[in-house]
Amino acid sequence: MASATSSRLLDRAPLRLETRVGAVVLDTPVVLAPMAGITNAAFRLLCREQGAGLFVSEMVTARALIERNEETLRMIIPAEGETPRSVQLYATNPDDLAAAVNMIGKEDLADHIDLNFGCPVPKVTRKGGGAALPYKKRLFESLVSAAVSAAKPFDIPVTVKMRVGIDSEHETYLDAGAIAARAGVAWVALHARTAEQFYEGKSDWQKISNLVEHLKPMGVPVLGNGDIWSGDDGVRMMRETGCAGVVVGRGCLGRPWLFRDLVRAFSGEGVRPAPSLFEVKEVLRRHAQLLGSYFAYEERACRDLRKHMAWYLKGFRVEGEIRPKLGMVKNFEELDSLLSQLVDQPYPVEVGDAPRGRRSHGRSVSLPQGWLDDPEELALVDGSDSGSGG
């Protein structure tokens, strides 16, 4: 780790954003990316315990929120002591989005709102939402403007997270970034892949650099997202692109201590933490405890924890049937019994720090009929979901 590099970055940190409670300072310019089925209040608290930053909720749909869907309302409940409280909204209808933002403001449900224009999954893009939506410039502008206007009376900052575009022939990030900046967003976060790429290959950090330069005259900061697997990666992204901060997604799966690593990297410390298996076990058990409090139901907490097991244990030697049994664990007593059988060992840096999470191959993007015909069309799509989004 090059401490001189980290020291140069301190001129850009901490990242400041205006919130309804005044000026909030992020001691480390790091944001936990919303991940469906992952970033619930328990996981956000676990990551927050490891380091400073902003931790965003799972994506929720605006319509489900204003209809007071029970699961959606539970998803935006902050963890104990969580501040600033951050919620990500998804919508394709400006009226729905404005109503959801107004509800958040009136009921004091969040301190920061992020808008999802980056989701590449077919169930979202085929309705014209997520990463497909910025192609429709007027619709995109109406959505962002509706959110910023609705949030203004409550002094809630609104930010945007998006991708490079639908595919290499339909890149939208420069136009969309400028539109969002003119609408008054606090920052724009860019995942440097197209929707077609999904999570394939390497993210193109040059696109982040391009957006930084494009928005510099407007005074709107850009956060970079894509392939942050270590604290060194975060330092390198900021050095190479000039971005104001980084957004971390898949890199923290089974490795919430990545936030601690980022804090160390940005502060210029040269000693990098590498937890042993027993230290990983303690983090895993803490995760289980937080999930138990969040769901108030031990069996459901264990069901949620199962998806994290392979990420926590990646690269470690786990004897016999312990690994598959952990993947099917039913209660905390069984969890503790299995964890007690693990043999301590050093952290497998080469494997443990390798890319993880979704690594789906690129695919054609599912879009509404005729979606690419006219980018200026103010197309209003019924992009609602009956549940919480995703």
Annotated catalytic residues are 119
> What's the gap between Cα 339 and its chain centre?
29
CA distances in angstroms from 250 to 12, 229, 253, 353, listed in the order given: 24, 8, 5, 11
Which tokens hold the place of 109?
Answer: 């449900």
Structure tokens of 345?
A: 């060992």
Q: From residue 368, give the alpha-carbon distance in Å to each of 131, 136, 168.
A: 13, 12, 19
Contact indicator for 268, 341 with CB cutoff of 8 Å: no
SS3 250: helix
How far does the chain reach from its first CA to its final CA, in angstroms?
A: 36
Burial class (CB in 10 A: 0-12, 13-18, 19+), 91: buried
Smallest Cα–Cα separation from 131: which of 375, 366, 369, 355? Answer: 366
Query: Distance between CA 259 and CA 171 in Å, rounded?
Result: 31
